[in-house]
Amino acid sequence: MVVVYVMHGEYKVPGGKLVVADVDVVDGLLRSPRISGDFFLEPDEALEAINTALDGLPAGLEAREIAARVDAGLPPGTVMLGLSAEAVGITVRRAVARASDWHQHEWRLIHAGPQEPALHMALDQVLAEEVGAGRRPPTLRIWEWASPSIIIGSFQSLRNEVDAEAARRHGVTVVRRISGGGAMFVEPGNTITYSLYAPESLVAGMSFAESYAFLDDWVLGALGELGVKAWYQPLNDITSDQGKIGGAAQKRLASGAVLHHVTMSYDIDADKMLQVLRIGREKVSDKGITSAKKRVDPLRRQTGLPREEIIDRMIGHFRARHGLAADHLTDDETRLAEKYVTDKFDTEAWTARVP
């Protein structure tokens, strides 16, 4: 018996155009592929060449393998604008994986008052778990910090990243998050931090590296509206021609949720950062301390706008693009987060789990 599945996938190329794949999967092979979108492609026959290259491929191929077949099948001199062979590969993988799209979800916004660093760490885990369990819709959370903190990645060495004596002197709390990546130094009012909690279906068919830029494409658009030409510097930096703006980290939970969070600098005390973070010294040791102050270029300088206005305009951009309804933490979510603080995030066993 011939088994036929009809698949549909969409992928917005970061900084580019929308790519759509409609394809049948017949006995494990791609059949009757139809690539479309609002991209630009020359010559006209290149589109049919892409479809021809896809037809008959095993449905289980990875995106990079699909892209290689597409590249090999393109007519000489093909010009793609807002499109790439890699984007075609990702879109086809998303179709086969039955990926969801932003507009298929009812996004919620949580923007509460200032909270302590350990509670922020706990809320990330709780809200990701709730989305993974289907008890909460996909959510955007904007953070407000109650006190200065160093947040180290899940796998970083505490002693290698933090000058403990300097942190105590400056009243800086050290916490460890559940995602990987590098250390961050934050002070109230000096950063813009947000988290996305989404079902894994939103990034189905993508590698970790591909999903970083995909999940933050909206914020690049928001920054563009503020006059900041920003882009993704792989793997996880948001940067501009004036310098680094921020960095992202991600965790995929067994419950089927993706936690993706970003901290962007609004203002920064570079001297204090270099005192409390050891890694900052290492990264600039060959260039001199003065260059450290140029590595991060805060949004305050780049936009001239109050932090609150930048956040409001970011939220407005997300709402216009994907839909967004105001929400709040439930009592159960708050209680569970407080329990996680006591049992995990405020303990030496967790913070120093990599000494």
Last residue of one domain, picked from the residues 71, 96, 121 = 96
Question: What pLDDT score was predicted for residue 287?
Answer: 39
Residue-wise DSSP of 41-91: EESTHHHHHHHHHHTT-BTT--HHHHHHHHHHHSPTT-EEES--HHHHHHH
Ranges assigned E (strand) in the chain: 4-12, 18-26, 29-37, 40-42, 79-81, 108-111, 139-142, 149-152, 173-176, 184-186, 191-199, 230-233, 237-240, 243-252, 257-265, 325-326
- Name the average pLDDT for the chain: 93
Residue 294 pLDDT grade (very low, low, confident, very high; cuts 50, 70, 90): very low
Distance CA 273, CA 292 (A): 10
Helix (H) / strand (E) containing 95: helix 85-96
Angle between helix 85-96 and 45-54 (nearest 10): 50
> pLDDT tens digits for 241-278?
888 999 999 999 999 999 999 999 999 898 999 999 99
Side-chain half-sphere exposure of 139, counting CA atoms within 13 A: 28
Q: Do 345 and 212 fall into the same domain?
A: yes
Residue-wise DSSP of 148-182: -EEEE-TT--HHHHB-HHHHHHTT-EEEE-SS-S-
Q: Do 118 and 165 fall into the same domain?
A: yes
Q: Do 131 and 81 fall into the same domain?
A: no
The total number of structural domains in the chain stands at 2
Q: Do 92 and 106 fall into the same domain?
A: no
CATH code of the domain in which 65 resides: 3.30.390.50
> pLDDT tens digits for 181-240?
999 999 999 999 999 999 999 999 998 889 999 999 999 999 999 999 999 998 899 999
Q: Do 52 and 143 fall into the same domain?
A: no
Q: How many residues does the chain have?
A: 355
Give the pTM. 0.91
Answer yes or no: are the C-beta atoms of 193 and 262 closer than 8 Å: yes
Last residue of one domain, picked from the residues 70, 96, 122 = 96
Last residue of one domain, picked from the residues 49, 79, 96 = 96
Return the closest-CA partner of residue 118 out of 126, 110, 109, 128: 126
Q: Do 8 and 106 fall into the same domain?
A: no
Residue 333 in tokens: 């979510």
Residue 292's domain comprises: 102-351
